[in-house]
Structure 1
């Protein structure tokens, strides 16, 4: 899992395979590549290459974060360029979904398909989160997020792990992530997206509620919506079985049942 030099700085990434389609997994605000940890191997049978990475200032990627979804999209495109990947399927969770959507809007020839997990065309942020971070109270911010992030069926241990992970954030980077989310809005632009799209949401998501995913589904032509019963915003970890099955089916349909491996 090396650091890769890109035009947007060094990026920590991992990949399996080198065929097509290439599937890139994009994490959300205040997160790292580890949020996709239960998906990396599962997708290898249906994707020629599966890659995950840390956005700048997150996890093991050095450098400052970014304060807009557009700038994070530039990081993703720089990573594709550095790896000489012309076109990819982009799967994004939360802010990562916003980054994937923005990339599909601004660089449509680079995107084969989209997987949007717990995201929306807008990502409003709880004002208290900005207040906590402005006061240097990262612990309160982490607790406020975790209280809304998990569904009723989530194992108690997941909440503890999630809160501990959020407390490891650089407060400045986390603040910029939230700023990027709060200023992002593509509600009137979704008709411009033409690529196949899978939308996944936990039906108890308290951060990006199901209505966000229903809006995406209603405005992205030909998209498929999968609601995961009893899961919250962290559906990737709460119900990896349901997420993995839905994404694998999507990939098989996208490729006609054959991966590039």
Structure 2
């Protein structure tokens, strides 16, 4: 793990159990709303132990990262690019899930010469959030957390490679979301993140500016960002690749190996 000073605030990054080495090829993992770096635990550790420099970040104002949480996709994208500057990374691959996928997309559009690969996991554009979820995230976040978990999972028990026997997907995800929400006593990062997703209107323009290969990793049973909702982005992406896996929106826990292998094969071409 490492702390990087970005815009005057400490930004936490998990390095997958290996020391940071900017000389290696780098990959940045970006989480979604009410998540943190831990959702990438399997993928980040695998890359760190197979020759990659890994930064699995906590967004500002989330858990171990300081500073005001980003109020828009554009603001979060600027943070990611500032993180690369602060860490001394000239070029990197970006991997983002849900809200994080929009952040990765926008960052790749703003600095196309610096991004070697772009992987969008559980993505959609536009990423509209239902009025019920927006209202719930603002006024009754615990109820909204339950709603999101119901919509995000397509199975009760995970494959053995996720976190081991006895793992409860719904309970684990609910506990993480509650912990992330409680980590910021000043700002409701749940509602702020959902609003940022809902308000983002630059997806097609951003994809048109992306110059690197793009991978879509999508859950066949995803109710939050169904695969059909990627059509606008896929039409703008040059030579886009699409991998659909048997999972809901929580792809990294419901299909951990499939997500890892898709990222492994895709990112290995950038080395």
* CA deviation vs aligned residue, 1:9-32 (integer Å, no higher than 9, x gap): 210112235233210001111110
**1:147 matches 2:164:** no
Give how far 1:46 is off.
5.2
What CA distance in whole angstroms lies between the structure 1 residues aligned with 2:121 and 2:138?
Answer: 29
Identify the match of residue 181 of structure 1 among 183, 187, 197.
Answer: 197
Contact kept? 2:113, 2:211, Cα under 8 Å: no
Stretches of structure 2 lacking an aligned partner (at least 5 in a row): 159-166
Aligned to 1:85: 89
What are the within-5 Å matches in structure 2 for residues 1-261 of structure 1?
1-7=1-7, 9-15=9-15, 16=18, 17-18=20-21, 19-44=23-48, 47-135=51-139, 137-152=140-155, 154-155=157-158, 157-168=168-179, 169=181, 170=184, 172-189=188-205, 190-229=207-246, 231-255=247-271
Give how far 1:219 is off.
2.5
What CA distance in whole angstroms lies between the structure 1 residues aligned with 2:95 and 2:233?
Answer: 15
What CA distance in whole angstroms lies between the structure 2 residues aligned with 1:25 and 1:86?
Answer: 16
What CA distance in whole angstroms lies between the structure 1 residues aligned with 2:80 and 2:113?
Answer: 14
Give how far 1:45 is off.
5.5
Count of residue correspondences: 253
C-alpha RMSD of the superposition = 1.8
Contact kept? 2:204, 2:236, Cα under 8 Å: no
What CA distance in whole angstroms lies between the structure 1 residues aligned with 2:114 and 2:9?
Answer: 20
With the length of structure 2 as denominator, give the TM-score of the two structures: 0.87
> What secondary structure sits across from 1:121 in the alignment?
coil
Compared with structure 1, are the counterparts of its residues 47 and 197 closer, same or farther at alpha carbon in structure 2 (3 Å cutoff)? farther
Contact kept? 2:152, 2:250, Cα under 8 Å: yes
Contact kept? 1:152, 1:204, Cα under 8 Å: no
Where does structure 1 differ by over 4 angstroms across 4 or more consecutive aligned residues?
A: none
With the length of structure 1 as denominator, give the TM-score of the two structures: 0.90
What CA distance in whole angstroms lies between the structure 2 residues aligned with 1:116 and 1:35?
Answer: 15
Give how far 1:108 is off.
1.0
What CA distance in whole angstroms lies between the structure 2 residues aligned with 1:97 and 1:164?
Answer: 23
Which region of structure 1 is more displaced relative to structure 2, 15-24 or 49-58? 15-24
What CA distance in whole angstroms lies between the structure 1 residues aligned with 2:60 and 2:196?
Answer: 13
